[in-house]
Each structure stands twice: as structure tokens, then as C-alpha cells.
Amino acid sequence: MYNRVYNFSAGPGVLPVPVLERARDEMLNFEGSGMSVMEMSHRSAVFEGILARAENGMRRVMNIPDEYAVLFLQGGASLQFSMVPMNLYQPGKPVDVIHTGSWTKKAIVELGKVAEYRLAASTESEKFRRVPRLDEIDLNPNASYVHLASNNTIAGTEFHGFPDTGDVPLVADMSSDILSKPIDVSKFGLIFAGAQKNIGPAGVTVVIIRKDLAERAGDSLPTMLDYRTHIGKNSMFNTPPTWGIYIIALVMEWLESTGGLVAMEKRNKEKAALLYGAIDATGFYSCPNERESRSLMNVVFRVRDGDAALEEKFVAEATAAGLMNLKGHRSVGGLRASIYNAQPLDGVQALVDFMAAFEKKYG
């Protein structure tokens, strides 16, 4: 009806059509206000209602306990690489990092500027083709906190269980798998995620923080970089990313109407099984990653063990067939299909059908 393509972009990624339709319907006159959400004061009662819908929606969908704040910030997940240590690092207590790919590498660079850290585990020597097993992670009980990326968007690996860090807060960059399955938020000290993969549009970053941890910060932090500022003002210290927050409210309502995270996980597993099944079916396609570590969100694969010319053909022919953004990240090459929450099973089926036809032609 809309001539939409199947969009496998790693981010910003596909959004649910019902959310886009609702935003369209409400675009020029939001609930009788006579204006769009983009045009209204963030201090208006109407917008305060939208903010509450987004926050309460996240709380219901993720079952977030009351002792956690849900913040809608700016600066992307990337700013959290700095903000987390600026607020949570305690001098003399190095941060433990579980290093699993490009995004933990970027976090490490920022950590190095403001904190001490050590690697509690790293799979760099194996080219990040897996995440560490829980028994390989060497945790320091005296760490300020533990940092990990729950899903490695570029490498295509994902933690399918989390280490027990005891009294040491666990901080997770969940940018690319938040809301893809139920998780126990109480096991984490802080969760952050740029919205543009599984939550909403670019420009808003969700931070879920156990409120007592915000009290670790000294008094010298810039106001905007201090979590207490945003907790105290309920993300309204300054103008928040109002449009992004509105779309998040709609995405949460869509998630609830489709059965919440239990149903979402089931669909995500189904989609991933279909795609990995096609990759594993013959020797023509291959996934470089260890089976136990494979991501359900970002499926990385190669054609004929990394035949770059054939992979280029794959991308070109897929694009012509309306299957978009399948080129792997420039740092790893190959192909990558991001199959976030809003990617319909039909999209994955279309990709699998295309793969079979492509193999028939060139295999």
C-alpha cells in the first residue's frame, strides 16, 4: 500500500508501520491541541502527558522497578560512554570492562580519559566472533562497576545470559537489543540505549538508572552531564527531544498491543532461526560467529567464505529486489541483516527466498 521496502538497516532502523501511521494521523493536530507534537512547548500539559506515556510505557513493558529512573537524554549512546564513568567511577576502583567489539572499544577510549579500568574479559584475539562464556569473565569484587555491550551490533554477537556481578553494579549498553526480550532490570545498575535501533527515532537516548548510583558523583560535574540533574527534573531540565519521546510512547503502546516482550522474544527467535537456518543450510553462505553467541538482532554472514565481488553482487541484486541495507559494517565487511523488533517475519522470509534464488544463480 505504501510501496515500502524491507529495510535491514542497523540503525536508524525500521519502525513499526502502525506507529508511523498513528504519527501521520496525529501529525497536524495532536489530540485536539491544534498543533503537532514538534511544535508544542515541552512545558505544556499536553506534552507532559506524552512524556508520562513514554516513561510509564517503558516501565510497564520492561517491568522497571520504582527505584530506577527512566531518562530521555540526548548525545546518543556515545555520550553515555563518558557520562557513565563521570558519574559512577570511584577513584581507586577500576571499572571492569567485558570487551566484545567496536562499541566496547569506543567505550574503553572514553573510559581511559576519565577513569581507571581493566579488562575482565576480551574476545578481541578471536576477532570478536563470540562473547565470553560467563566462566571466562574475571570480575574484580572491588570494581566501580562492570561495563558490557549486551548486543554487538557490528560483530553480530549477543549475550544470552549475564554475569552475576554481586554488589558491583552492572552497566549495559543495550542500544541494539533493548526491548527484544524480557530482562530482569534489577540485575543492572544502569542500562543505556540510543533509541534508533529498537526504541524509536534517532535523537533520544534512554537511560535506566538505579537512583542511588547517581549519588556517587561529585559536585564538579557539568550540570548537563550529571544524572541527578535529569532525575531531579524528570528529563525536563532543558528542552528534551520531544518528538523522539512521543514516538517512544507510541512504540511502547505498539509493543503492549502485540503481546509485550514475551511475544516479541518469540517472534525474534522465529525470525533469527529462519535466517540462520538459511545461512547454515549449505556451504554457500556462512556465519563467522560461534553459534552460542549469535545475535538475534544483527545477523552477520558471508557469501562463499567472503568472496567480496559476489557479496557486492548480492547487495546490488538485493537492493534491486527491495531488500535494503544489507551491506556489512565497513570495519568487518560481508553482509549484515538487522532484524529488529519492527522487522516483520515477511521481510526475513523475503530475504531467505532471495538468498535461495541467488545461490541457485551463482552457487
Residues labelled as active-site residues: 103, 173, 197
* 231 close to 214: Cβ distance less than 8 angstroms: yes
Cα separation, 316 vs 309, in Å, equals: 11
Site residues (vs ligand PLP, CB under 6 A): 11, 76-78, 103, 149, 153, 173, 175-176, 194, 197
**What 8-state DSSP symbol labels residue 327?**
B
* Nearest of 292, 311, 291, 293 to residue 302 by alpha carbon: 311
Q: Copy the grid coordinates of residue 289.
A: 560467529
Q: Cβ of residue 153: shortest distance to ligand PLP, in angstroms?
A: 3
- Which residues in 154-227 belong to E strands, given as ranges? 157-158, 170-173, 190-194, 205-210
Cα separation, 360 vs 225, in Å, equals: 54
* 129 close to 178: Cβ distance less than 8 angstroms: no
Our separate counts of H helices and E strands in the chain read 9, 14
Determine how β-strand 157-158 pairs with β-strand 151-152. antiparallel
* Nearest of 257, 255, 253 to residue 52 by alpha carbon: 253
**What 8-state DSSP symbol labels residue 94?**
P
- Which residues in the chain belong to E strands, given as ranges? 6-7, 68-73, 95-99, 117-122, 146-149, 151-152, 157-158, 170-173, 190-194, 205-210, 285-286, 298-303, 323-324, 335-338
**Residues with Cβ < 8 Å from 20, sequence gap 6 or more?**
none
Strand pairing partners for 335? 301, 327
